[in-house]
Amino acid sequence: MVPELASRVALLGAALLLIAFFAAAETALLAVRPAAWLPWLEQGQCRGRLWARLHRHQPVVRGTMMTGGVATVYLFGYLATCLMLDLNVTWSPVIGFLLSAVIVVPLGVALPVNYTAQRPEGVAIALAWPITVISVLLWPVTFLLRGLMRLVLLARGVTRVELHAPPTEEELRTMLAQSDKQGVLPEQQRQMLYGVLDFADQTTAQVMTPRPDMVSADADAPLSEALSLALEHHHRRLPVYEENDDNIVGVLYVKDALPYLRDKELSEPARVAARPAFYVPESLPARELLRQLQQSRQTVAIVRDEFGGTAGLVTVENLVEQIVGPIRDEDDLTEEPEIVETGPEEYSCSGLISLHRLENLLHVELPVEDYESLAGLVLALAGHIPGSGESFAWGQLSLTAERVSRHRLERVRVRKLPNGPVQGGTSPAD
């Protein structure tokens, strides 16, 4: 009798270990993200290849772990009931069920789940091979159960079920960084993907043309004067204002003035040909602004600050350029490029270039939450309007004021120092 009881207890212990394994495995499949196993894969480690395969077939593998977990819970309950019967315990099935609940929930589920959630990578390393082997062994059962599930769902009109969460932004950035190291993606495609990720976090204030850079016409000025201004600056659209450029009342499209040119009525005020302005707040997310411009069939919006004044102007082209990079057309031939490579890891940049774009170009961390543009960062480091040639440092970057015009920092030379510190700083560069 004693050997039988010992074997029953041993089987109960084995079933409990299996329950814990399946619970930990399912948690690891959810907790271990690509950011954890991509470095293993890059280093050619076997566990990296295993987790890449498990991640690719995650819905099937998770289904296998869930099936195994449920089966072993039933097995534990059966063995516990048999043990109670062997001991001649009254109400053996009830006692066996209660014993299963008391033991399985804390030891077989809660403990391994919490441990795995706190140390997902360590558990992933230990369980990579066991999960793979058990998934292969239980594949026929999983295939049958998934087939039955599909039939039930189809009978209820459900044609597709999303069984795993899409990757997070952090995971996408990690995968892009890994692909960059491996040379998988061309530079242009990689920058475009970074642009898509950055665009989701940007506001209208970060992508607009600021008010000091706007070229606008007086609403009461003759059309001939407004057209001359547009031709001089190679613009197809001009904001028109009343009294001062803080009060934009409309937008003049050059093509809308052509009938007045034909009829020789260019002495008419610019306001007669101007369209009503489309106003947006500077805090509006850039993606929402693009949606609003599409819905309203507008190509330009006037950005208002919190006090109701004009903060700047933004066009559809501004928004698209955040994703695909600068768009050069026939009107941009005389404009200076935002970024000019002047040497290895050295660039001449417009002061208005966004820190997001500079981050992606140089693979460094910049204070994108605190400053919108490169000029903003340099001005903060300087504490004053820097003179041409004055240099400052931020982490691995040397930032030199190249051109300052009318108290504005127009161009900055950016050089990445090969052995510079990795954290941000504000000390002047040597």
Q: Where are the domains of the chain?
A: 2-155, 169-199, 204-330, 336-416
Query: Is the C-alpha dihedral spanning 187, 189, 195, 198 positive or negative?
Result: negative
199 vs 237 pLDDT, higher one: 237
pLDDT tens, residue by residue, 110-140: 888 888 888 877 888 888 888 888 888 887 8
Cα distance between residue 180 and residue 168, in whole Å? 18
Residue 226 near residue 217, CB atoms below 8 Å: yes
**Between 349 and 59, residue with greater pLDDT:** 349
Helix (H) or strand (E) holding 14: helix 2-31
pLDDT above 90 (res 301): yes
Q: Which pLDDT band holds residue 239 (cuts at 50, 70, 90)?
A: very high
CATH architecture of 204-330: Roll (3.10)
Q: Which amino acid is at 264?
A: K
The arithmetic mean of pLDDT across residues 304-318, rounded, is: 89
Res 389: pLDDT:
84
Assign residue 242 a region (left: φ > 0; alpha: ψ between -120 and 50; beta: otherwise): beta
Q: Residues of 162-195 as b/e, b for ≥16 C-beta within 10 angstroms?
A: eeeeeeeeeebbbbbebbeeeeeeeeeebbebbb
Radius of gyration of the chain (CA): 32
Mean pLDDT of 379-402: 86
CATH class label, 336-416:
alpha beta
Q: Taking 90 as the threshold, does the pLDDT of residue 303 lie above it? A: yes
In angstroms, rounded to a whole number, what is the distance separating the alpha carbons of residues 148 and 295? 44
Q: Which residues pair with 210 in a beta bridge?
A: 312
**DSSP secondary structure, 120-154, as one string:** HHHHHHHHHHHHHHHHHHTHHHHHHHHHHHHHHHH
C-beta of residue 31 within 8 angstroms of C-beta of residue 116: yes
Rounded Cα distance between 198 and 193, Å, is 9
Is a pLDDT exceeding 50 seen at residue 423?
Answer: no
Q: What is the mean pLDDT of residues 282-302?
A: 91
Burial classification of residue 387, based on how many CB atoms lie within 10 Å of its CB (0-12 exposed, 13-18 middle, 19 or more buried): exposed
pLDDT number for residue 35: 65
Separation of alpha carbons 101 and 80, rounded Å? 10
Of 86-100, 287-301, 345-359, the one with minimum mean pLDDT is 86-100
Amino acid, single-letter form, for residue 144: L
Tokens of 33: 């993200």
Pull the structure tokens for residue 153: 């769902």
Q: How many CB atoms lie within 10 A of CB 64?
A: 27
pLDDT single digits (tens) 49-106: 777 787 777 777 888 888 888 888 888 888 888 877 777 777 777 777 787 788 888 8
Contact 285, 205 (CB under 8 A): no
pLDDT of residue 250: 92
27 near 116, Cβ under 8 Å? yes
What pLDDT shows up at residue 419?
A: 65
Phi, psi (degrees; rounded to nearest 5) at 78? -65, -45
What is the per-residue pLDDT for 425? Answer: 43
Instruction: Give dist(CA 201, CA 192) in Å, integer.
Output: 15
Compute the distance between CA of residue 282 and CA of residue 82 in angstroms, rounded to an integer: 71
pLDDT of 144 reads 82
| Percent of all residues in the chain with a pLDDT value above 70, rounded to a whole number | 86
**Residue 249: what are its φ and ψ, rounded to 5°?**
-110, -10
Query: Could you tell me how many helices (H) and strands (E) the chain has, helices first?
Result: 17, 13
> What pLDDT shows up at residue 427?
40
Least confident piece of the model among 85-94, 236-245, 323-332, 334-343? 323-332
pLDDT of residue 300: 92
What are residue 416's DSSP bridge partners?
Answer: 397
Q: Flag whether pLDDT at 33 surpasses 80.
A: no
